[in-house]
Structure 1
Amino acid sequence: MLQINGGEVLAVAADGGFTFPTPLAEGVAYTVTVRSQPSDPTQICSVSRASGMVGAGPADDMKVVCATQAFAVGGMISGLNGTGLVLRNNAADDLALAVDGPFAFPVPVASGAGYAVTVQAQPAGQVCSVGQATGTVGAGLVTSVVVTCSTQSYTVGGSVSGLVASGLVLQNNGADDVSVVSGASSVTFPTPVAHGASYAVTVATQPVGLTCTVSNGSGAIDAGNVIDVAVACTVDSYRLGLTVSGLDGQDLVLQNNAGDDLAVAADGTHQFDQRLVPGAGYSVTVKSQPRMLTQSCSVTHGSGTMGSADIGNVAVACATATSRFSYWLMPGAQTLQGHVESAGWQAVPGASLALDPDVALLASDPRGRFVFTGMSASGAIRVHPISVAGEIMPVADVKWAASNLAAITLHPDGRALYVSTNDGSMVADFALDDSGVLTSFAGYPLAMVGTGGALAMDPLGRFLYAYHRYGDEIRVFRIGADASISPTAVSTSNLGNAVSMTVHPSGRFLYVLKADGTLEVFAIDATTGGLVTAWSGASGITSPLQVQVHPRGRWLSLVGGAPGSSPAIRAIDPATGAPGPALPPFFTSEEVSSATFDATGDRMLIGTRSPQFMFRFALSPSTGTPLSNTGISAGDVPAAVVVINR
């Protein structure tokens, strides 16, 4: 409504011209104002050129301009505790909200226009609904929209496997027990858990005879049901244990049921890795006897049936083998003599065996079944069985490798025999059976090495080392599963005439004694058998004959033929293989012709050329120093001596 001069009122309902009904005389002043603003919709009108003086005609140049008002649309949110809520007004105006309380859309809506509030995006883990969501904007702010949010809840569950018995009870968050029936493959807890809350599934009660474990059992509820909890049940199983006593060697390996290996390094209690279910049988055996000292371990209470508890009464007792018999080779007298080591110098039945004129080599079976003699000229290898009483029995087999044998050695478990020859220039390998029969492996003779020389066997049965005299090199042969040998490309040259070689009981070092008195120590590559020099120096003896390692790997024995020079005992550094300073020689004037440690390493047998004696020395277990000795005339020069434990 418009008003003129504070009096007459004119109602205006539409755009266009307007005229107050009462005319004013010429020369009269006028002022037009807005008496009341329009409503529905709410507008604000203003008058321009509103004042003036009536002239000679109508005063019709004033203008009234009206604009519609706009107001914010909003309301109140309650229950919001997630993130991501987006409201939308009239399908266009978005408003992101994160907390409870009042809200208003940023774009106002004109008075008289409609509004429609919707949820464009729900918050994480919640559902929000809009009340009083639509209407028409009036003459002020819209504050009546109501948004109510509630948190979603989700179930917790997953898979079950291996449940073959009843009694399993699971819990979530320490409550909400659920019993799971035998044979079930899935489980779901009855009480849902609110979004964002934690869940923790545990086993409250184990089923009969089973042990069930939970994986993926804890976490926080996200926007969906938890379906990846995994409950795995296994039949109860128990450990098989044992007690080992008397172990003084290395690399004892026990086995259960011919499959579960257990390496034992020391006395005490031990357990097999594989668990056994009640009713399962077990059978404990010795897979490999200790090395680094000849021991024999036996098992008692080693077989039975597993009950419903761990077993620990299996007993493994280890005893150090003693050298029962010694055999001395006298090439000058062409005889092989046998003596009972446990009864002084008593000769064994059949104590003296006549041999071929060209006999030169002597070796013994690691299992104590045979001794072997080798003929230098004919190349014959004779197998002499040994009875339980130590008697040298009739020859079991004879093989001719080639003329002029250089060395004989045996596989660590006695399955094969290896020789090198000078004439024929070869290394040959033979399978050895329990009756003493030697059988050539396929491809015999296996490898040409030039003029032969010393042999050294890896105690782990991996490699054979052969000295090639003309090439002045050590060649490496790999030992196969059947104990046959095959050449490798690995060799070590420029040695300087190796007289004797031996491998440390650990299989880590090769010791080479040279004609000039030098001792060289090689580290052995466990994969290829390759040799890397680890130490080199003077051996401390003259006229070198033999190098040997103590059964426990503690000392080196270095033997030379010069009067009063040997044996020289040197401690071995277990880390590097290097020898320590030499102890004083055992003799002051005697010429040593042969020497060997017994099986325990507590004694040495030493043959001498002058006088023609065999001595037995007791050794200090800590230093190797000779403590006492006894001797007996050998009747000839004992050029070689071996001991067996049968």
Structure 2
Amino acid sequence: MAAIVAVATLSSCGGDSNGSSGMADMALPQTPPVTAPVVAPDPAAPVSRTISVTVAGLLGTGLVLQNNGADNLTFDADGQAAFARPVAQGGAYAVTVVTQPTLPAQICTVGAGAGTAGSATIAVTVTCAARTRLAIVTSLFSSAILAGDPSTGAFTSTGYSVPVGGILPATLSRTGDFLYLTDISANAVRGYSLDPVSGAPTPLPASPFSTGGIAPQASAMSPNGKFLYVANRDSNTLAIFAVNESTGDLMSAGQVPTGGNPISVAVTPNGKTLYVCNYTANTISVYNIDANNGMLAAGIAIPTPSPRYTAIDPAGKFLYVTRGNDNVVYGFTIDAATGALTPMSSPFPAGNGTTNLVVEPAGKYLYVSNETDGTASSFTIDATSGALSEVLPRAPTGGLPEGIAVSPTGQYLYVASQTARAVQQFAIDATNGSLSQRSGTSMSAPPIAIVIR
């Protein structure tokens, strides 16, 4: 009977056949959820706004923007990015260009770049375009600055000039921001900054820069823009300058001896070798360039009667030279590793009084000014041997042509004619290199040399 009572008691307590206790069905006390307290926004706390920048038309590299004089943002291609530091709503912002892009050099302008931050993200636009094409035309006592029309290639006067001249072209910095002219009477190099839009020249505060020699005449910039080399014609030395690409300033880095009367200087496109034409020594000096400090290792001298001016093809495979009182062009192949020169089989006939020469950017054609003839010769370049084949007829340029230059696009050739007092423009036929005369730019003084930015 006791067993029956026990079973009944268990049943009444909610037991089941599995032996589970009824405790599972009992209501257990619940812990209330933890809720973060609601904090009202602090009306005094600033609200930050991002400054988003969109860049269009950028071809070069190294564009640096700055906000409020402190926060920098760099672009190397078109795109969109934001400054690292936001601006408080109600705060001022001012986006400016602190470094323009290079290679190719461009001018970038900021749109909607300044104001007061509102309730939305700040959208700033930057548009980049080509710099003004400039030609620096040198006469005996001054150098004029011309501006180019990008659609026609024609040049017109800007009204700007500098009171330094000569018989050889000026030298530009790698970026085209700075202009260097040798001053033969002051035994120095004079430097100028060039306004990227107008071309207006401003003398560098530290200019002139002494060359430490006598009668500096020819100069050449290293391809990396770090070193300038200047030939002191009457002291038979080559001055070496380190270039500050930000300020344009030159700092003397030493000198090396050359042969007698060094009158032209050229550097290979890879920046490894420098050549100097020593007119009265009848040699071409070959120097190897130290890439770190620009110093020159003494090289060999290649016998060459009365070498005057040189041109190197863009690939750095061939060197061409004109000689005094000669009517031909001489060619050399360049050893890519050492810079050593090997003469080509024979000189190439040109017009009478060959003077300056230039290779166009594609490396297919070479052009020579013939001072006595008053013409320009055109040659095709054999891509393997470097041999020249003249394209006839020669183009009439006006009397006493010397300076010669090709546009960076390779579309046009320009020749400085002293008798005509003009810079003559020619269109280059891309299929055979022949020349067709276009317009001319009149000059106030007989033009002798020309360089194009």
Which TM-score bucket, shorter chain as reference? 0.5 to 0.7
1:237-273, CA deviations, whole angstroms, 9 ceiling, x for partnerless residues?
xxxxxxxxxx9xxxxxxxxxxxxxxxxxxxxxxxxxx
Change (3 A) 1:531 1:593: closer
**Counterpart in 1 of 2:363?**
553
Q: Is the 8 A contact 1:503 1:549 kept in 2?
A: yes
Given candidates 463, 487, 492, the residue that maps to 2:302 is 492
Q: Is the 8 A contact 2:135 2:155 kept in 1?
A: no
- 1:450 aligned to 2:291? no
Q: Which residues of 2 match residues 142-291 of structure 1 at below 5 A? A: none
**Counterpart in 2 of 1:167?**
none
* Higher RCO (C-alpha under 8 Å, 6+ residues apart): 2
CA–CA separation in structure 2 for the residues paired with 1:361 and 1:461: 20
**Counterpart in 1 of 2:195?**
387
In the alignment, residue 365 of structure 1 is paired with which amino acid?
Answer: S
**Counterpart in 1 of 2:96?**
none
CA apart distance, 1:626: 2.1
TM-score, with structure 1 as normaliser? 0.47
CA apart distance, 1:385: 1.1
CA–CA separation in structure 1 for the residues paired with 2:129 and 2:376: 25
Q: Secondary structure in 2 aligned to 1:529? A: coil
1:178-234, CA deviations, whole angstroms, 9 ceiling, x for partnerless residues?
xxxxxxxxxxxxxxxxxxxxxxxxxxxxxxxxxxxxxxxxxxxxxxxxxxxxxxxxx
**Counterpart in 1 of 2:229?**
418
**Counterpart in 1 of 2:117?**
none
Q: Is the 8 A contact 2:416 2:448 kept in 1?
A: yes
In the alignment, residue 382 of structure 2 is paired with which amino acid?
Answer: D
CA–CA separation in structure 2 for the residues paired with 1:346 and 1:547: 23
In the alignment, residue 470 of structure 1 is paired with which amino acid?
Answer: T
The RMSD of aligned alpha carbons is: 2.8
CA apart distance, 1:531: 0.8
CA apart distance, 1:549: 0.9
1:535-572, CA deviations, whole angstroms, 9 ceiling, x for partnerless residues?
422431222221211111011111121143x2101000
Given candidates 359, 364, 373, the residue that maps to 2:172 is 364
Q: Which residues of 2 match residues 396-435 of structure 1 at below 5 A? A: 396=204, 397-401=207-211, 402-434=213-245, 435=247
In the alignment, residue 328 of structure 2 is paired with which amino acid?
Answer: T
**Counterpart in 1 of 2:277?**
467
Q: Is the 8 A contact 1:416 1:429 kept in 2?
A: yes
CA–CA separation in structure 1 for the residues paired with 2:365 and 2:225: 24
In the alignment, residue 378 of structure 2 is paired with which amino acid?
Answer: I
CA–CA separation in structure 1 for the residues paired with 2:162 and 2:445: 13
TM-score, with structure 2 as normaliser? 0.66
- 1:440 aligned to 2:217? no
CA–CA separation in structure 2 for the residues paired with 1:643 and 1:388: 14
1:497-552, CA deviations, whole angstroms, 9 ceiling, x for partnerless residues?
01111211111111111111232111111222111112422431222221211111
**Counterpart in 2 of 1:543?**
353
**Counterpart in 2 of 1:587?**
396
CA apart distance, 1:637: 1.1
**Counterpart in 1 of 2:320?**
511
Q: Secondary structure in 1 aligned to 2:395? A: coil
In the alignment, residue 392 of structure 1 is paired with which amino acid?
Answer: A
CA apart distance, 1:624: 1.7
CA apart distance, 1:417: 0.8
- 1:575 aligned to 2:387? no
Q: Which residues of 2 match residues 296-315 of structure 1 at below 5 A? A: none
In the alignment, residue 378 of structure 1 is paired with which amino acid?
Answer: A
CA–CA separation in structure 2 for the residues paired with 1:634 and 1:463: 36
In the alignment, residue 461 of structure 1 is paired with which amino acid?
Answer: G
In the alignment, residue 529 of structure 1 is paired with which amino acid?
Answer: G
**Counterpart in 2 of 1:502?**
311
Change (3 A) 1:427 1:553: same
Change (3 A) 1:323 1:474: farther
Structure 2: tracts of 5 or more residues without a match: 1-58, 60-100, 107-127
In the alignment, residue 278 of structure 2 is paired with which amino acid?
Answer: H
Q: Secondary structure in 2 aligned to 1:342? A: coil
Given candidates 385, 409, 413, the residue that maps to 1:600 is 409
CA–CA separation in structure 2 for the residues paired with 1:589 and 1:391: 28
Change (3 A) 1:520 1:346: closer
Q: Is the 8 A contact 1:615 1:630 kept in 2?
A: yes
- 1:477 aligned to 2:302? no
In the alignment, residue 443 of structure 2 is paired with which amino acid?
Answer: A
In the alignment, residue 440 of structure 1 is paired with which amino acid?
Answer: S
Which one has the largest radius of gyration? 1
Q: Is the 8 A contact 1:453 1:468 kept in 2?
A: yes
CA apart distance, 1:378: 2.4
Q: Is the 8 A contact 1:427 1:449 kept in 2?
A: no
Bigger proportion of residues as strand: 1
Identity %, equivalent residues: 21
Q: Secondary structure in 1 aligned to 2:311? A: strand
- 1:627 aligned to 2:439? no
1:148-184, CA deviations, whole angstroms, 9 ceiling, x for partnerless residues?
xxxxxxxxxxxxxxxxxxxxxxxxxxxxxxxxxxxxx
CA apart distance, 1:361: 4.7
CA–CA separation in structure 2 for the residues paired with 1:381 and 1:508: 30
CA apart distance, 1:468: 2.4
CA–CA separation in structure 2 for the residues paired with 1:395 and 1:591: 31
Structure 1: tracts of 5 or more residues without a match: 1-246, 248-288, 298-318
Change (3 A) 1:320 1:447: farther
Q: Is the 8 A contact 2:145 2:199 kept in 1?
A: no
CA–CA separation in structure 1 for the residues paired with 2:396 and 2:421: 14
Change (3 A) 1:463 1:620: same
CA–CA separation in structure 1 for the residues paired with 2:165 and 2:316: 36
CA–CA separation in structure 2 for the residues paired with 1:504 and 1:617: 20
CA–CA separation in structure 2 for the residues paired with 1:555 and 1:358: 27
Given candidates 181, 191, 201, the residue that maps to 1:373 is 181
CA–CA separation in structure 1 for the residues paired with 2:365 and 2:131: 19
Given candidates 330, 334, 341, the residue that maps to 1:520 is 330
CA–CA separation in structure 2 for the residues paired with 1:296 and 1:567: 30
CA–CA separation in structure 2 for the residues paired with 1:541 and 1:531: 25
CA–CA separation in structure 1 for the residues paired with 2:373 and 2:282: 28
